[in-house]
Structure 1
C-alpha cells in the first residue's frame, strides 16, 4: 500500500505535503529554540548565582574541627566539604558542602548536624541555587516558582505546536476520507490505513524536524548574543557563553518526533475507524452544520462576504489555534509594551526626574559610622565636586500628645485617621522620629537654607505629614504635622525605656538636598554629627553604613560622571569598603535592562505570533484540496475569479482582524486600570504610548495572513476547477 498509494500521493499532492512539512519545520524550530534558550537562560542564571553567592548547596556554622570535617565526608552523599574562610571567625567556623544527589539534601543535612552534636539551626541551605534544580524545602509553603513557570510555558507552547501539526494532518487526511473508504471496501484493514498514514507522516517530517532543530539552535545563539551585548553594558552584569548539550538536542528531536506522531495518530485513528460506507459517502467538502447569516460581512461585502462567513464558520475548529495564538501574541505584545511604558513613566517621574538635580554620585561606606569617617573635607574640596553631603540614618521614637497635632491634621481627624500609628496607655501616639545625621558643614548650610542662625546645638524638624485623604501617593500633598510651639523634642529609647531631650532649632517643610524618601507619617529630624556624638546610645540604633551624596559640575555627562565617581572611589576605597553608583549610569543601566526584558518577552510574543501565522498557512494551504470542489461549485453557478479573490480577501481580513478587535479593548481597559491604580494621569501615558510598534505588529499580522491567502488562492485559481467536480483524484 505504501508503494502503490502513499508515494504517488505525496508526489502528486505537493501543496498538502508542503503544508505538513512547513508545520513540522516551524514546530521543530520553535521547540528547539525554546529548549536551547531555556537551557542557556538556566545556565546563565545558575552561573550568576554561583558567581554572586558561591557554589555551595548546604552550609554549617558552629565550633568545628578537622575531625568534624572527616565526619561530614564520611556521609556517602557528600561530594565536597570546604572551609569558608571569609565567613569564619574566632567564634564560629563555617563549612560549605555539596552533594552528589541534591534532592536528599533536606534529609541529609539534619543527620549531619545531629552527628556533629549541633542544632538543626546550624544548617543553612542555598535555596536559590537549589530551586534552579527543582529542589525545594518541603516545609516551605511558597517555594520559588520561576523554573516551574518556565516549564509551564514550554509545555503550553508545545501543546500549541501539537495543534498546528495536528491540524495540518487532519486537513490532509480528511480530504482523503472518500479514497480510503474505497480502499477499505476492497480489503484494506484499519491497521493498514493507520500504518500507511503514520509512514507518510514520518517520511514527510523527518527532514523538516532536523532542519528546524538546527534553525532553532541558530536562533537561540543569535538571541543570547543580543542579550550578552546588553548585559556587558550593565554595571555588574556579565556575558555568559552560549552553551549547548547533546541531551538538549536529543530532547528536542524526540519531542518533535513525538509531537508529529501524536498529531498524526489522532486523525489517522479517527479515519481508520470510519466504516467503508461512511468514508465513501464523504465528498471531502467543508460542511456547515448550522448555517447562520453573517449580517455584517454580507452588508459590507455582499454575496462574497456571506460565503466567506460561512466558510470561516465551517473552518472554525481548524482556525481556533491560529485565532488563539494571534490573540495571545497581540495581547501579550501590547500589554508588555504598555506595562513597560507605564513602568518607565513611573520610574521617570518618581526617580530620575525627581532626583535630576539632587545627586550625581552616591557612595555607600559599608559598616562605618559617620563619626568614624574622616574624609569629609577632602571630598567637599575635591575637583569637580559642586556639593557633597555625608550623612547617616538612625531610628528614634517620640510621643505625640493630641494637643501637639497641627490644626490642619486635627481637621482631618487626627493622626489616627491617616495612619495606624499605635497609642501608649497614656493616650499619646508613639510616632517614629527617624534621624538624618549630617556632617557639620552641610548642617550649617542647611540652617542657612531654612533661614535660621547657623548652629550645631539642636535639630531641625521636618514638620510635614502626607495628606492621604486629599491626595494620592503619586502626587502627594503635605500639611503641617505639629504645632510649632515647642523648643525641645523628647526621643524615646524603646530598648532601655528612657527618653532624651533634644533642642529644636527650627520647624520646616524644606528638606536638604539628599536622595532620600522620607516616611509619610513620621517626624523626621536633621541633626549635625557633633550633636549625634552627644546623644548616640540614648536614642534608637543607627544604621551600619554611611552615605556620601555628591553633585558634580553643571552639565555633567556620562564620561564626567564616571570620572568623578572614579576619583571619589579611589580616594575612599583606600581606607573603607564601599559601593558606588552614578545617576547617569543608573539611567543607562535602567534603559538597558528594559531593552533586555523587551527583547526576551517580545521574542516570546513573536513566537506566539509565528505559531498563529504558521497555523494560518497550514490551514490555508491544507484546505486547498477540499476547497477546489467548493470553488468549482461557486464558479459553476457564475462566480468569477475576481469574486473568489474577494472571498479570500474577506477571510484574511476576518482572521487577521478578529484577534485585534478582541485584544484592543482589553489593552485599553488594562491601560486605564493600570494608570488609575498607579495614579498616573492617563493623558501622560497616551502621550508616550507605543503606538508605532503596535501598528507595526498589527501590520505584520495582516501581511502574513494576506500572504498565506495569496499563495493559497493563486494555486487554487491555477487548478482545473471543473475537473474537481467530477474526479476525486488530485492532479
Structure 2
C-alpha cells in the first residue's frame, strides 16, 4: 500500500462518523438491489414449483401424433423427457348419483407421465400395463358405486358427442351438455368394450377441472403397443428453457407435419419465457426503467456521502498536494476510499439483503399459503446472475459516486484547499437576495437564503437528494399502481369461487333453493343476479372510440344516425345492491324507486385487441348521470322491435359487482334493483330472465358437493354448478406476486430516500458548525437560529418540489409509454401520490434539519470555532 492510500485509510479511521454513514448508505443500496433481484427470483421459483405441483411439469405439447412423429420427437436433441398421453374416452359410471358427473374418464400415461404429473397414490400401486387402472378415490363414495382394488371391470368406452354442438367430441374441460330444462343432450359414440383390473386408488387430480363430467381413471400407455395408425399426445420436458423454444417447436411441427403444437404458458411465464413479443418488450422496457430508478437512487445516496464530504476533506487533500501529491494521486485517493468502502459494504449489503428477504419470507409464508392455498414454501432463491448483477450494479454506483468528487478534488490547489476557500463564494451577485424575503420573513430568512447561495455545492447536493427522492417515490408509486392495473387487464376478472345457474323450475322451489345455497355454512359472500337482455338506440357521437371507428368503416348497423347498443339488464339481490351502491357512491333508495326507474351503468370495459395485440381499457359509451336510455327488446317469434321502458342513469362506474364480467364492445351492463327489473320486464317477459348465484366459500369443493346434492331434491328444473376457484386462485397468485414485489420495492425506495435526505442534511449541518458558532458569537438568539433553520427547510423543500414534480411526471409518462406496448389506457397523474410526496418532503426535511441542528446547539461556541474536522 502506497503512502497516499495509507494516509487515506487513516483519514477514514479518524473521521469515523462520516465513514460509518457512508458505509451504511452503501449497505442500504446494495441490500436494496440484492433484495429486489432475489425477491423476483424467489417468487418466480415459488410459482414455478406450485404450477408443477398443480398441473405437472411439461413445456411443449405436440397433439395427435402418430408412431413415426413420436419417434422423431423422442430423438429431438433439445428434449429431455417425452411424456406419452392418450385420452381413451368416457364410460358410463353405473350406479353414480352425481347428475353432473355421470362418467368415468380413462386416460393413459407412460412411466414418464406418472413421474412428471402430480399423481398422489392413496392405496395400491400405479398401473404397469394397458389392462390395469387406478381410480379416483371419490368414485367409491358416489352413490351405489363400490369398486375395490383387485376388481376386474368391463367398461363401454366412447366419445362424448351432441347433435346441438359443432364440436366433434368433448373433453374434460367441457361440462355435461344440458338443455334449458336440465335434460342431458349428449351421448357416447364409437363405443368399444375394454376390461381393466383395478390396482390402486388416487386422490382426485388437481388438474381435473371441477366442472369435468368424468371421474379420472388412469391406465398405462405402453409405447411398444402403439401402432402406426394410433394417435397420442406427446408432452415434452426441455433440457433448456429459453425464448427459442417457441420457434423451434413450431418449425419442428411443420417439418414433421404435426398439425397442432401447444405451450405450457402458465409454467413458462415463471421461467421468464413469454411468446408474445409485445409483452416481452414491455417487460424489458419496464425492467430497464426500474433498474434505472434503482441505480439513480443508489448513486444519489452514495454520491452525496462522497460529494458533501469533499469540503471537509479539502484541507487533507491540500496537505497531500503541498508535500508533492499529483492530481492523479489525489483523484486515486478518493477512488481508493470508494474501493475500501465497497469492499466492506458490498458483502455486508448482499448478506443483509438476503437475510432481510429470508426474514420477510418467514413472516409471510403462512399468509401466502393460507390466502392462495399453495402447498409449496416461499424460499430464498439465489441465482448466480442475480448476485453478480447486484455486485456489478453496486460497484458501478460506487465508482460513479466516487469518480465525480475525485475528479473535482484533483483540481483543488494546495493553497485553496488548505484555506478552504473553494466552496465559499462571497461576490455580491452570488449571495444577492430579494428585499421581499427580508420584509416578509425577517433577517433570519435572509441569512439562511444567503448561506444557501454561498455554499452552492452543498445546497445543490441537498436539493438534488430531495429531487431524486421525490422522483423515486412517485415513479415507484406510479409503477406499482400501473403494474397492478395492467395485471388486472390480463385477467378474466373472476371475483367469485362458484357460479350456480338455475334452470326452469317452480318459482317457489327455486327461491327456497337459492336461500339454501346462499346460507350454506362455508359460504362467506353471495350475490344473486337475474339477467334480461335488451337494447337501446344511442347516438353515434356517444359511442366508444373503438366502436365509433368500426362504425365509420362499416355503418350498416346505423339507423337514422343511431346504433343499437346491447344492454344486459342485471338485477342484484337487495343486500348485494346496497353494498355495491355504497361502494361506488350511488343512491340505493333511488335505485329501488318503482315510479322513476334508475340504474347504474358500467361504462368502462377491458378487452384484448387481437389485431393490435394489446389489452385495452376503454369507455363503452360517452354519457353522463341523469341521461335517459330508452330500452327495447326484439320479439323472438315475430322479430319485431318493441319498447320496454325508459331508465335514468343514476351513476356511472368502472366497477363491476361480484359475478358480472366485462362487457364487450357494443354492449353495456345496466345494474338495477329487483323492483326495477320487474317494472321493466313485467309479467310478460318474466320467463325470459335467467338467474345465477355467485358464491365465495372457504371450502369451494365442499360447497360444490353440497349444492350438487341439493339438485337431487328438485322436482323440476336443474342446477349447473361451475367451480372456478382454481382459475381465480391463479389470478390472485399473479396479483399477489406483483403486490409483494412492488410494495416491497416501494418500502425499500422510501427507506433509501429518507436515509438519503437525512444523510445529506445532517452531514451538511455538521460541516457548518463553525459557521453557526460565528452567528451565535455575533448575537443570534436560539429563537432566531430556529427561524433560520426553518426557513432553510422551506427553501430546500420548495426548490425540490419545483424540480422534482416535473421530472417525476416525465418519468411516469415514460413508464406509461413502456406499458403501452402491451396495454392501452389513458395516462393519468396520481394527484394523491403528488400530495403525499410534497407533504413528506417538508416533513422529512424539517425533521432532518431539527435533528441535526439540535446537536449543533449543544456545541460550545469556542470549541466549534476551533473545530476543523467532524
User: By the TM > 0.5 criterion, same fold?
Assistant: yes
**What corresponds to 2:294 in structure 1?**
157
**What corresponds to 1:708 in structure 2?**
848
Give the Cα separation in 1 of the matches to 2:669 and 2:383. 60
Q: How does 1:238-387 map to 2 (within 5 A)?
A: 240-245=377-382, 247=384, 248-276=386-414, 279=417, 282-283=420-421, 285-287=423-425, 290-293=430-433, 298-313=438-453, 314=456, 315-328=458-471, 331=474, 363=499, 381=513, 384-385=516-517
Q: How does 1:122-521 map to 2 (within 5 A)?
A: 122-126=260-264, 129-130=267-268, 132-133=270-271, 135=273, 137=275, 140-141=277-278, 143=280, 145-146=282-283, 148-224=285-361, 228=365, 231-232=368-369, 234=371, 240-245=377-382, 247=384, 248-276=386-414, 279=417, 282-283=420-421, 285-287=423-425, 290-293=430-433, 298-313=438-453, 314=456, 315-328=458-471, 331=474, 363=499, 381=513, 384-385=516-517, 420=551, 422-423=555-556, 475=625, 477-482=627-632, 489=635, 501=638, 507=644, 520=667
Q: 1:259 to 1:721 in 2, by over 3 A?
A: farther
Instruction: Give 1:165 deviation, angstroms.
Output: 0.5
Taking structure 2 as the reference length, the TM-score comes to 0.55
Give the Cα separation in 1 of the matches to 2:485 and 2:732. 14
Structure 1: state its 5+ residue gaps: 344-349, 353-359, 399-404, 439-461, 491-499, 533-545, 671-677, 679-688
Q: 1:563 to 1:312 in 2, by over 3 A?
A: farther
Asked if the contact 1:466–1:477 (Cα under 8 Å) also holds between the matched residues in 2, the reply is no
Asked if the contact 1:231–1:238 (Cα under 8 Å) also holds between the matched residues in 2, the reply is no
Give the Cα separation in 2 of the matches to 1:428 and 1:3. 83
Give the Cα separation in 2 of the matches to 1:629 and 1:528. 92
Asked if the contact 1:433–1:525 (Cα under 8 Å) also holds between the matched residues in 2, the reply is no
Give the Cα separation in 2 of the matches to 1:436 and 1:52. 38
Q: 1:644 to 1:33 in 2, by over 3 A?
A: farther
Instruction: Give 1:168 deviation, angstroms.
Output: 0.8
**What corresponds to 1:648 in structure 2?**
789
1:222-261, Cα deviation, whole Å (9 max, x unpaired): 5445655554454666775132326344543454344323
Asked if 1:730 is matched to 2:869, the reply is yes
Q: 1:508 to 1:320 in 2, by over 3 A?
A: same
1:615 to 750, 756, 770: 756
Q: Which has the higher helix share?
A: 1
1:2-32, Cα deviation, whole Å (9 max, x unpaired): 5762343223323322331232232123223
Asked if the contact 2:35–2:354 (Cα under 8 Å) also holds between the matched residues in 1, the reply is yes
1:49-84, Cα deviation, whole Å (9 max, x unpaired): 65677544333224332x423312323222333235
Q: 1:411 to 1:464 in 2, by over 3 A?
A: farther
1:256-284, Cα deviation, whole Å (9 max, x unpaired): 34432332233223322445466456435
Give the Cα separation in 1 of the matches to 2:509 and 2:75. 58
Q: 1:186 to 1:376 in 2, by over 3 A?
A: farther
**What corresponds to 2:78 in structure 1?**
77
Asked if 1:117 is matched to 2:257, the reply is yes
Asked if the contact 2:500–2:692 (Cα under 8 Å) also holds between the matched residues in 1, the reply is no
Range 170-179 or range 215-224, more displaced: 215-224
Give the Cα separation in 2 of the matches to 1:635 and 1:413. 70
Range 590-599 or range 22-31, more displaced: 590-599
Give the Cα separation in 2 of the matches to 1:664 and 1:3. 42
Asked if the contact 1:308–1:651 (Cα under 8 Å) also holds between the matched residues in 2, the reply is yes
Q: 1:250 to 1:504 in 2, by over 3 A?
A: closer
Give the Cα separation in 1 of the matches to 2:27 and 2:788. 29
Q: 1:428 to 1:72 in 2, by over 3 A?
A: same
Give the Cα separation in 1 of the matches to 2:314 and 2:418. 7
Q: 1:375 to 1:568 in 2, by over 3 A?
A: farther
Q: 1:598 to 1:725 in 2, by over 3 A?
A: same
**What corresponds to 1:543 in structure 2?**
none
1:108 to 240, 248, 254: 248
Asked if the contact 1:340–1:594 (Cα under 8 Å) also holds between the matched residues in 2, the reply is no
Q: Which has the higher strand share?
A: 2
Give the Cα separation in 2 of the matches to 1:410 and 1:342. 31
Q: 1:509 to 1:45 in 2, by over 3 A?
A: farther
Q: 1:238 to 1:186 in 2, by over 3 A?
A: same
What's the C-alpha RMSD, in Å, of the aligned pairs?
Answer: 6.3
Range 238-247 or range 501-510, more displaced: 501-510
Give the Cα separation in 1 of the matches to 2:857 and 2:511. 81
Number of residue pairs matched by the alignment: 623
